[in-house]
Structure 1
């Protein structure tokens, strides 16, 4: 597993080009692998697979912030999205609740 006290978030998105829609799946687990939160959401008006991943990553990070978790390990299959979300978080942590998800 991962470090004691650390929560791991896994996320993924499925994208339908013809419908410009996506589905997000998010799972947060504690250091013993027990599920502490999960969410599946359908999204409309999603123009690209990258947008689908970005929306899902933002939702995962919002769940982390809402649960007031101190230490997080993020796992997703889009390194670019994860890096961009991390950069945004470092720029202005106070604006985290202003982000429209």
Structure 2
């Protein structure tokens, strides 16, 4: 399947994120890339996290980093993209999260 980049509306910034998690060493590395509506890279970041017990928590931690990067950049209109569908749905939900990642979800909101 071929996936092509689609431009955003003017004024939006898209931040993509992904990660890899090593469950034996309790470490993860996440990567973030922020692009403007023309597709130009505005910022990128790679972060090594230690003491992350699950890929679920690692995804939530990475999503938190995305939000913080947007805030640091002064972005008002942002589109966050990643393959962590469960995390994204929890962030979009109005209900109180009661899972092991509730602190991350609260921080993201």
What TM-score, normalized to structure 2?
Answer: 0.76
Matched residue count: 89
Q: Which has the higher helix share?
A: 1
What TM-score, normalized to structure 1?
Answer: 0.82
List alignment gaps of at least 5 residues for structure 2: 1-6, 95-106
Structure of greater Rg:
2
2:54 alignment partner in structure 1: 48
How much is the aligned-residue C-alpha RMSD, in angstroms? 1.4
2:79 alignment partner in structure 1: 73
List alignment gaps of at least 5 residues for structure 1: 89-98
Q: After the TM superposition, list the runs of 4 or more consecutive aligned residues in structure 1 that deviate by more than 2 angstroms.
A: 83-88
**Cα drift, residue 7 of structure 1:** 0.2
